[in-house]
Amino acid sequence: MNFKTFALALAATAATTLALPAAAQFAKPEDAIKYRQSSLFVMGQHFGRIGAMANGKVPFDAKAAQADAEVIAALSSLPWTGFGPGTDKAAPTKARPEVWTDQAKFQDHAQKFQAEAPKLLAAAQSGNLDQLKAAFGSAANSCKACHDNFRAR
Ligand code: ASC
């Protein structure tokens, strides 16, 4: 293969890769389901730890809260690629069919949560418990709104 052929092949590969639907990032639908459940589970763990502080169940530890919020901010964009086409029932899932039949609304909920995550991080970085409580409440509402609409009970 000469350089020009190689460059063309490389460009074609890059274009194809970029154009691939999110589901194609996973070897199989089960992987996409595991991926979204794992990232949501990890966020849930750290969100719960912040919640325990926000609700006075454990003493406020500003450094711990910041570390928790960093994890959430880093992971907040991840789960959504795991909800691609064909990932509605390849493994046990609480995701309701509406995730796929009402994509616009689902993506809107996902966006709202992703907008909350950096605000939660900023509040945690402030070291101010009242700010953290407010940001936690707002973020929790975005979790709940999506769960109420798109997660099976
Ligand atoms: C959590 C958690 C959620 C949300 C949600 C908010 O701590 O794991 O899924 O808060 O319960 O209503």
Distance 142 CA to ligand 1 centre (A): 9
Read off the pTM: 0.85
Domain that holds residue 34: 28-78+87-150
Q: Counting atoms of ligand 1 from 1, which one is nearest the CA of 144? A: 12
Would you say residue 63 lies in a domain? yes
Could you tell me the CATH number of the domain that includes residue 41? Answer: 1.20.120.10
Tokens 């907040």, located at residue = 76
> Is 21 a domain residue?
no
Q: Mean pLDDT across the stretch 111-126?
A: 98
pLDDT of residue 19: 45
- What is the per-residue pLDDT for 21? 54
**93 Cβ contact partners less than 8 Å away, ≥ 6 residues apart:** 33, 37, 87
Count how many domains the chain has. 1
Inside any domain, residue 12: no
- Going by the annotation, the residues of the binding site for heme c are 143, 146-147
- Domain presence at residue 10: no
> How do residues 40-89 score in pLDDT, each as one tens digit?
999 999 999 999 999 999 999 999 999 999 999 999 999 999 999 999 99
Give the mutation target among 57, 136, 144 for probing the ligand 1 site: most ligand atoms within 8 A of CB: 144
CA of 144 to the centre of ligand 1 (A): 6
Instruction: Burial-class residue 117 by CB neighbours within 10 Å (0-12, 13-18, 19+).
Output: buried
Res 6: pLDDT:
44
Contact 69, 23 (CB under 8 A): no
